[in-house]
Structure formats: C-alpha cells, structure tokens
Amino acid sequence: MADSEKCVPLVFFRTEAGAEPVREWLLELPKADRRIVGEGLKQLEYGWPIGMPLCRALGGGLFELRASLATRRIARVIVCVFENELYALHGFIKKSQKTPEADLKLARSRKRQLERAR
C-alpha cells in the first residue's frame, strides 16, 4: 500500500529525552510476537477507525490495540489520535482481565505531554 492510502499515519510517542518507549518495548519482544503487534498497528493505520475485536475504546480519547501473541500472552498498545496522526503511547503485556490503572495513567500522561508540546 502506498503512503497516500493511509488514513491515519502511525507515530511512536517520543519523550523529551528522545526515547520511543513503544518502539523499544516492541524490540524486546520475540520476533513472532513483534510481527503480530506490527500487523495490528498496520491495520489501525490503514483502516482507522477500527472497532472490536482489534481495537477497543478506553475513554478520554485512548484506544487499545488488542493482540494475542504467539507465546500465548496478550499484548496491548494504547494509542490516541492527535492532529490526524495515530500515536502509540504505551505498550505492555497484559496479565489481568482489566487494563491496569498504572498503564492507563502512563498513557494519559503521555497524551497530555503530546497535547502540551504542540
């Protein structure tokens, strides 16, 4: 697919120090798991907006990409749309039924940083 076909281009959130936490987290995953999450992110980019089962609204402008990994784990990437771009704010391995509050808090904080920076 050509870039002109993208509905909402994906951008990795960047800290003030220049780190890209979601990209770094992805690189720590086994290759097969990284491929699954990457395919999900590509589907979001080219098909936004997408609903369940791939993507679920979390409220406050946050959404979670849902991915079942080859290693029988569950990964989530929390994203938001800001200025016509899809920002990957936080990625984690889900260990409980409910999205942990600490992960939501971190994603909300990164979203606020993004909004203040522009």
Residue 85 DSSP SS3: strand
**Pairing relation of β-strands 74-82 and 10-12?**
unpaired
What string of pLDDT tens digits covers the 118 residues of the chain? 455 566 899 999 999 999 999 999 999 999 999 999 999 999 999 999 999 999 999 999 999 999 999 888 999 999 999 999 999 999 999 998 899 999 999 999 999 999 998 7
Enumerate the β-bridge partners of residue 55.
65
pLDDT at 6: 61
- Class of the 3-111 domain? alpha beta
